[in-house]
Structure 1
């Protein structure tokens, strides 16, 4: 994993008002903690942070230039606005070279599912311990050729050298089950609707509409 260098400045304003002013200036409020030291409140340029996370992923290794010194950190918690998507706050964990850290690493699924099969992914990440400067960016799990009934657990995922699995090895990552038929899907929808008390009105038949229309039609004069 390559290091990404970011400029950071010490924050002197705190609370919601200070955070809003920081964000209006195009920066993100952040806190650096770890190693038993007092938390350090800093601000990062929002554009640069977004670029770093796109390039390095959720566990990007960041070198912060702050107050004439350097601090190696990894993101621990990134809070974004639920609607607008901008960064609201970031918690950063201070790390040292050669130090082991525990992180969650994402899992991506590759390959085509067997015909008639359905992929049920139970976990999208696993927890591992790795060197702070060599954190895996992600794990790929291939489902190519897996038959219905196959399962992949955390212990089945190949880890790079120096990385240790923290998640229970028996924890289910994904399973290949038999895809439901159209009839089964219809039955599930009907059952769900019944549980919610939804009653679908049956449409009036065309014949009933015709009969009612004929009944309202005045009788023709036989003499005409």
Structure 2
């Protein structure tokens, strides 16, 4: 389930690309908070603390500013393509008891039958859950599954109080027969003729 993390933030007053670069050099991440009919609020968050917090993309955070606290969830996290550092975050405001839909990783338990190959069609699935109790993952069981079998949305194991936002017959994973490639025996090749100085094949030395 989601752990609530408190982060001290400050109001962002300068805007534009230049101001964003300056903020990042100062160890701060530009962010915008949306939700519940209010105007978007532009903030600056401490880089190191925030980066650690959003390693879980569904991390529940409490942003603290001037004594006021607001619970938020990351909606969009932009990262630098090269350094993979967090460049900007969009948050949505949530309240205790409010249900939200988030993408949750699929955990695979067990091993399929020998001679089969397991194929995970969906690495994550949309789950509706309480904003303050979001699951980190859901589970599918594949122990002993045979070739030709499918794991459907109805087979996904969910934590109490959460709902999978997919139709029951939606395919999450498949089991197929392992195909072994027969490379066959490597054919022996004849040794190439040795070319003489004048371009003809060199003759064997004669006895005598």
TM-score category of the 2 structures, normalised to the smaller one: 0.7 to 0.9
- 1:210 alignment partner, SS class: coil
Count of aligned pairs: 201
Paired position in structure 1 for 2:154 = 155
Instruction: Give the 5 Å matches for 1:33-182.
Output: 33-54=34-55, 57-182=56-181
Q: Contact 2:120–2:172 at 8 Å: present in 1 too? A: yes
Distance of aligned partners of 1:130 and 1:216 in 2 relative to their CA distance in 1, 3 Å threshold: same
Shift of residue 7, structure 1, vs aligned partner: 1.3
User: Is the 8 Å Cα contact of residues 59 and 73 (structure 2) preserved in structure 1?
Assistant: yes
- Length-normalised TM-score, structure 2: 0.86
Q: CA separation of 1:168/1:16 partners in 2, compared to 1, >3 Å: closer, same or farther?
A: farther
TM-score (norm 1): 0.81
- Which string of whole-angstrom CA distances, capped at 9 and with x for unpartnered residues, describes residues 144-182 of structure 1? 221122211122112222212212222111011112211
C-alpha distance in structure 1 between counterparts of 2:164 and 2:203, whole Å: 84
| Gap regions ≥5 residues in structure 2 | 184-188
Alignment correspondent of 1:215: 200
Q: After superposing the two structures, state which structure 1 stretch, 153-162 or 34-43, moved more.
A: 153-162
Q: Cα distance, 1:216 vs. partner?
A: 4.8
The structure whose residues are more often helix, as a share, is: 1
Structure 1 portions without partners, runs of 5+? 187-204
What residue in structure 2 maps to residue 11 of structure 1? Answer: 12
Moved over 6 A (4+): 218-223
Aligned-residue CA RMSD (Å): 2.3
Q: Distance in 2 between matches of 1:63 and 1:115?
A: 48
Contact 2:194–2:202 (8 Å) recurs in 1: no
CA distance in 2 between partners of 1:142 and 1:65 (Å)? 41
TM-aligned CA deviation for residue 78 of structure 1:
1.0
